[in-house]
Amino acid sequence: MDYKNSKWAEEIINLQHDNGSWGNNFHSLSLPSKKQPITTEQALRRLKILGYTIDDKPIKKAVKYIENCINGKIDIPEKPEKLHNWKIFTELMFSTWLKIFFVDNKKVNENIKNWALIINTSFENGLYNNKKYIQSYEKTFGIKPKGGRFIDFVTFYQISLLANSLDKAIEPIFYEYILKHNCGIYYIYGKNIITLPKIFESKETNGYISAIELLSDYKNEKCISQLGFVVKWINKNMLEENKWDIGKESKDGINFPLSHSWKNKEDRIKDCTYRINKLLEKLT
């Protein structure tokens, strides 16, 4: 199904600046405005969901902008956040998005190597060791971890960046740690992933599915097998004729809608079914 030629994609592409960004804010946007209604990161996430890849011109332009940022050719005008290690965070952030669009970049490869070393060391004895994490982080970056994104590494960025890059024996242990993490995955879903949403047709399920989509990028069979309970839950909530409905509250402007409008319930069901089927293809 093709959602690339939708009004949603057109709206976002029309907002893209000549330098490939979507304005001053790459990551944080506390006060949306007509001049800055969306961050570069939000635009990229939305376009990816709508089916855009590195082969498409808007993504190529954005990737060039990100490469210029990570290589130090330009500075993002976004105000640094003082609560954590900003330089390390921006490099992590840029590396993650370049990896998502399959860009081979020296800085990206360095960041994958660094974070893989930190996580492999932290779980090398079969359980997470916070002391080893702090020591390995400091040895790698020359500074102790500061701020929530680094003291607690279960975030969209580290998980996405490290998919299929950890030691094979460590990866399932790291994966299980994520699933049992009380606070979920930072930036994606704020609850324990082992605990399924009580109501399938809900905003909560939309976020939960986003977390599972992220985890489904791991190819290790020992990892994916841990999501068997999710597959059962999805199938249990199937409507007749192999269709799903996550509900009208799932309309968040990022994951949904995909169709031009949800005035017709059938369009919502079509969008939800498309998303669920793509996920099941990766989990089964």
pLDDT, averaged per 10 consecutive residues of the chain (284 residues), comes to: 91 96 86 82 97 97 97 85 84 97 96 98 97 97 90 96 98 98 96 98 98 98 98 96 96 96 96 98 96
- pLDDT score for 31: 66
Q: Which residues pair with 239 in a beta bridge?
A: 243
- pLDDT score for 82: 75
SS3 content of the chain, % helix, strand, coil (to 5): 50, 0, 45
- pLDDT score for 30: 67
- Taking only the tens place, the pLDDT of each residue in 82-92 is 767 889 999 99
Surface-to-core class of residue 139, CB atoms within 10 Å of its CB (0-12 exposed, 13-18 middle, 19+ buried): exposed
Per the prediction, the chain carries an average pLDDT of 95
Q: Which residues pair with 185 in a beta bridge?
A: 189
Look up the pTM and report it. 0.95
